[in-house]
């Protein structure tokens, strides 16, 4: 009787955990004009998901404190070399992937009111990773 009860409890626990795992939604690709992007990376499942999708993009932005702690809710703006804004959004996690036409861009990332800017060049296929790090929150 005790074994049967334990089996039922374990089966219910497994079903609950499995159901939860299936209910977790992964980040979705979005578009703004000619730019496709996806953001996330909160937790191992999202990070693994985004690593699996990296080959679809040519730019990866990583947001963290100088201490190494990841941050999210980072405002991201991307403009072309002429200064025309192509994207203005907020990253939902510490990783932000974008697919841009080959060229030069101005990228700004703002966290807790502190903006960091980079001028970058991206190619058509190879993933370029840019780190943004802030000294304090």
- The torsion region of residue 16 among left (phi > 0), alpha (psi -120 to 50) and beta comes to alpha
More confident residue, 127 or 8: 127
**E strands present in 14-127:** 30-32, 35-40, 59-65, 74-80, 85-91, 95-99, 103-111, 114-122
Say what the pLDDT of residue 125 is: 85
What is the set of domains in the chain, with CATH numbers?
27-134 (2.60.40.10)
Q: How far apart are CA 130 and CA 63, in angstroms?
A: 9
pLDDT per residue as tens digits for the range 33-90: 889 999 999 999 999 999 999 999 999 999 999 999 999 999 999 999 999 999 999 9
- Whether the pLDDT of residue 18 is over 70: the answer is no
Nearest Cα to Cα of residue 131 among 21, 120, 50:
120
What's the predicted TM-score (pTM) here?
A: 0.81
């Amino acid at each position: 009787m005790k074994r049967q009860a334990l089996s039922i409890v374990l089966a219910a626990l497994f079903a609950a955990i499995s159901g939860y795992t299936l209910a977790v939604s992964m980040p979705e690709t979005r578009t703004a004009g000619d730019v496709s992007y996806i953001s996330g990376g909160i937790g191992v499942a999202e990070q693994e998901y985004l690593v699996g999708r990296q080959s679809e993009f040519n730019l990866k932005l990583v947001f963290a404190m100088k201490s190494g702690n990841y941050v999210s809710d980072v405002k991201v703006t991307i403009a072309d070399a002429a200064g025309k804004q192509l994207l203005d959004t907020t990253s939902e996690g510490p990783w932000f992937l974008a697919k841009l036409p080959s060229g030069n861009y101005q990228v700004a990332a703002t966290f807790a009111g502190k903006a960091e800017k980079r001028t970058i060049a991206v190619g058509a296929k190879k993933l370029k990773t840019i780190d943004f790090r802030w000294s304090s929150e």
